[in-house]
Chains A and B, each alone.
Chain A
């Protein structure tokens, strides 16, 4: 690489050296860059937050005002939230929780041993198994939906969320992949020490390795929870109106409520709120999980 003679520091690199002793021009330029980058970041941040803000402001407007295009509510209708949080919404909420909680628990129980085996056992076909995990993770669910629907219909489980929850008892490819990626980074010595102490493989996994893998477990559980919470396609295929989760219910909300945008936005906001809260509480696990792999979410 042939490099040039300009004498400029990267804004991000070399943090240790202070600006002291720099020529004036360079300091001014650095200030300009500092100002520029932060200005861009702030502008972008406003744009990123604007839709959520608009949602909120619309959610507390009166029905007539939502059609006016006004930005700021002239009167604050907090009752809108109470109005939507009844009847259908509560049932949808219950269904969403059932799907997400059970789904997450089932996924953890079934995926952890598989990921552990793929990460720590040496056996013939291990590479093939791992490739199959990645394949199953990447291929769209639509490919197998028709025969699966037929099977579930045969068990008379269509019309419920069970066709989406039960398969999670048999491992989720994405979670297996992500957990395995984390487990291979745990030094072998820990497990070996446990084994010397006479622990069986299962005990070693539960007592020694899993506590160390807690961040990865948290990330995987969060992803699964949000996947179920957000899932629209699955419930659309399988669920009936009385087993609809929030995602499907919200999509029909507007038509059912005669296009009352304020109520629609209030309901929508209520589906977003738990996600935001969990994210703020568990931010680190999230970022860690995403960076661990960078697929699906």
Chain B
């Protein structure tokens, strides 16, 4: 883990964020500091340790696939930023 790899503008692009000049300067400094701090995890030898993704054992997440009524389509169209013909409207994707 080393701080010299992060370029916040590049990572922001991956995360679909655009940063102002001021934001990118501040974040660059702050996130570098955080990355230096988390380097302390390397003090620990974890070569034989299994990662924990879920802190409690999932017993049985599978359920019967039963057809049920769902939340009405209108409820979601009502909160959409832009709709057209009862569908979500987005800018042109293919030229």
A pairs with B? no
A residues within 8 Å of B by Cβ? none
B residues within 8 Å of A by Cβ? none
